[in-house]
Amino acid sequence: MPQNEYIEQHIKQHGRRLDHDERKRKREAREVHKVSAQAQKLTGWKGKQFAKKRYAEKVAMKKKIRAHEQSKVKTGSKPLDENGDALPTYLLDREQTNTAKAISSSIKQKRLEKADKFSVPLPKVRGISEEEMFRVVKTGKSKSKAWKRMITKHTFVGEGFTRRPVKMERIIRPSALRQKKANVTHPELGVTVFLPILSVKKNPQSPMYTQLGVLTKGTIIEVNVSELGMVTAGGKVVWGKYAQITNEPDRDGCVNAVLLV
C-alpha cells in the first residue's frame, strides 16, 4: 500500500471523531472571519493580489446569484413579431413559447421527481437535546469523574459487537435498550413483517447519533427484506431496503417502521 494513504487507511479502520462534522462546520464558519482579518492585515503587493482575487470571487458569485434570480422570473414573451414590429390585436393574447422558460420548467420537473423519489413519510421530527439523549455516569472512588455517558434511547449494534474495556468505554449502550428487529409495514401491500435490522443509515438528529446507531423517530434504517421475496427488474433478490421509523421506540419498547418503496 502506498505510504501517502495512511490517513485514509486510518479513517477506514477506526472511523472519525464523533464530533467531526460539527468541527468541520465550525471551521467553515470561522473561515469568513479569517479571510476578513487577512484582508485588513495584508499590505503592499500581497494586499493588491489578495484584493484582486477576492474581487474576482465576488464578481463570480454575484453573476451566479443574478443568473439564478433571472431563471426564477416567470415573464411572458414580448408582443413583437420576427421583424421587431408590434403584433396585431388579435395575436396579442397568444403567448409565444419561451425556450429558456421551457428548459427551466423541465429541470424543475426533474428535480421534483427526484425529490419525490427520495421522499420519506416523516419529513420533520422533534429535535432531541444531548441532555435528553445522554445520562452522565459518575465514576471513581469518590464519584468525582463524569466523563462517561449512557444513552437513554434505543440503539442498534451489529452481530459481532463487543463492548470496549470498562476503563476505556466512554459511551455506554445498555443491553436492555438494544434492538435487532423492527416491525416494518409495506405501504402498498398493507402488511407488517417482523424483519431484522441491518444498519442505521441516517439519524436526522445528528451524525454522531447515526454513528452510535441510535434509533429515534424519523431515523432511516436498513432492514433485511429477503423474506418478502422482493426482486429487481433483472430478477435478483433484494437483500436490504431502507425504512423510516415512525414511532418513538423508547416509549413503545419496540421499533415500528414504514418501508420506503
pLDDT in tens, 18-71: 999 999 999 999 999 999 999 999 999 999 999 999 999 999 989 888 887 776
Please give the order of strands across the beta sheet that includes 145-151. 134-139, 145-151, 171-172
Amino acid 247 reads: N
- What local confidence, expressed as pLDDT, does residue 1 receive? 47
Q: Is residue 167 part of a domain?
A: yes
Q: Is residue 52 part of a domain?
A: no
Q: Is residue 32 part of a domain?
A: no
Class of residue 213 by CB neighbours under 10 A (exposed 0-12, middle 13-18, buried 19+): buried
- What local confidence, expressed as pLDDT, does residue 117 receive? 63
Closest by CA position to 245, among listed 206, 219, 224, 222: 219
Question: Strands 171-172 and 145-151, how do they pair?
Answer: parallel
Q: Is residue 43 part of a domain?
A: no
Residue 240 phi/psi, 5-degree rounding, is -120, 145
The CATH number of the domain where 239 resides is what? 2.40.10.310
Give the DSSP per-residue string, 83-128. TSPBPPGGGTTSPPPPHHHHHHHHHHHHHHHHHHHT--S-------
Boundaries of domain holding 156: 130-259
Q: Is residue 178 part of a domain?
A: yes
Tell me: pLDDT of 231 over 50.
yes
**pLDDT tier, 188 (very low <50, low <70, confident <90, very high otherwise):** confident
CA distance 35 to 50: 10
Q: Is residue 125 part of a domain?
A: no
Share of the chain above pLDDT 70, in %: 85
Q: Is residue 165 part of a domain?
A: yes
C-alpha cell belonging to residue 31:
473561515
- Our count of domains for the chain comes to 1
Q: Is residue 115 part of a domain?
A: no
